[in-house]
Amino acid sequence: MESSTNNVTELIFTGLFQDPEVQRVCFVVFLLVYLATVVGNGLIVLTVNVSKSLHSPMYFFLSYLSLVEITYSSTVVPKFITDLLAKIKTISLEGCVTQIFFFHFFGVTEILLLVVMAYDRYVAICKPLHYMNIMSRQLCHVLVTGSWLGGFFHSIIQILITIQLPFCGPNVIDHYFCDLQPLFKLACTDTSVEGVIVLANSGLIALCSFLILVSSYIVILFNLRNHSAEGRRKALSTCASHITVVLLFFGPAIFLYMRPSSTFTEDKLVAVFYTVVTPMLNPIIYTLRNAEVKIAMRRLWGKKNSGME
């Protein structure tokens, strides 16, 4: 970033709430939620990698989804939590751009992984006899790598647009973390074109992925009519947890991007949901609805405890 165009080296967040008492309560609540996110998702990664019974592609993808949840949450939440105790919440311009890069990188990787998981369920339910041939170990690795690369390229485009903007005056971001729209409001130039490009970049990925997800689950549900009652129940249970996670992830995003920007407080509260709360809910949703994961976790803890005695 050239110093000729950027007099601003440090940015200040307005944060979520102004009241110090509320901020202290939020600190405790969000710290517990973040710890639950890391422990819950970490347990899933550990269980899937250690358990012999969880070696199917579905769990392979689930462990990567949990890993992405930890990293995605960690780009925003630790800084946000420590800022709740700070009087003035600051971040360097480079730090802000870095946060945007990783937030978008992990966010889009997660979207693409959800699409991959939907494809996996589609093959398992609609082409059960060919499942192991189609979802080979090699394809699973390719799909996961593709998800990470998709997130990376999406994020690089967002950043290349952002670093060309001049920041020369205002330095207060009306948010509790760095995102493109709040940062664009501080640029000393008209950012309407850039705003449309980054919105299209995010919006198109989210919209296309959401449409693919919805249509794939409709096809799956349609195909379930040919299954036995037991097969149908098991498939519906698995799909229900996937659909819940998809709705939790896309609901707030669609709410934010598909409407004219109004009060930022509203936006901030919605953002809390998808940056802090959703990553914690995923492991709960997947494990509560999945007997295999629960059994594997019990086995893992049984081993640990017997090893300690």
Least confident span in 74-83, 108-117, 279-288: 279-288
**So what's the pLDDT on residue 2?**
43
Query: Does residue 6 carry a pLDDT above 80?
Result: no
- In angstroms, rounded to a whole number, what is the distance separating the alpha carbons of residues 54 and 60? 8
**So what's the pLDDT on residue 236?**
80
**So what's the pLDDT on residue 30?**
94
- The band of 257, judged by pLDDT with boundaries at 50, 70 and 90, is low
Strand boundaries in 7-154, DSSP class E: 10-13, 89-92
**pLDDT (average), residues 263-288:** 80
Residue ranges of domains in the chain, CATH in brackets: 8-293 (1.20.1070.10)
Residue whose pair of structure tokens reads 């693409």 in the numeric block? 112
How many other CB atoms are found less than 10 A from the CB of residue 284? 12
**pLDDT (average), residues 214-233:** 83
Residue-wise pLDDT tens digits, 100-156 = 999 999 999 999 999 999 999 899 888 888 998 999 999 999 999 999 999 999 999
**So what's the pLDDT on residue 87?**
87
Average pLDDT in the chain? 85
Q: What's this model's pTM, rounded to 2 decimal places? A: 0.88
Q: Which residue has the higher pLDDT, 290 or 125?
A: 125
Residue-wise pLDDT tens digits, 175-209 = 899 988 888 888 888 888 888 888 888 878 888 88
Tokens of 79: 């800084």
Query: Does residue 306 carry a pLDDT above 80?
Result: no
What are residue 92's phi and psi, to 5 degrees?
Answer: -75, 160
Cβ atoms of residues 23 and 15 within 8 Å: yes
- The band of 3, judged by pLDDT with boundaries at 50, 70 and 90, is very low
**pLDDT (average), residues 246-271:** 72
- In angstroms, rounded to a whole number, what is the distance separating the alpha carbons of residues 265 and 247? 22
Q: Are strands 89-92 and 172-173 parallel, antiparallel or unpaired?
A: unpaired
**pLDDT (average), residues 254-278:** 73
- In angstroms, rounded to a whole number, what is the distance separating the alpha carbons of residues 60 and 120? 11
Query: Does residue 39 carry a pLDDT above 90?
Result: yes
**So what's the pLDDT on residue 262?**
54
**pLDDT (average), residues 79-104:** 92
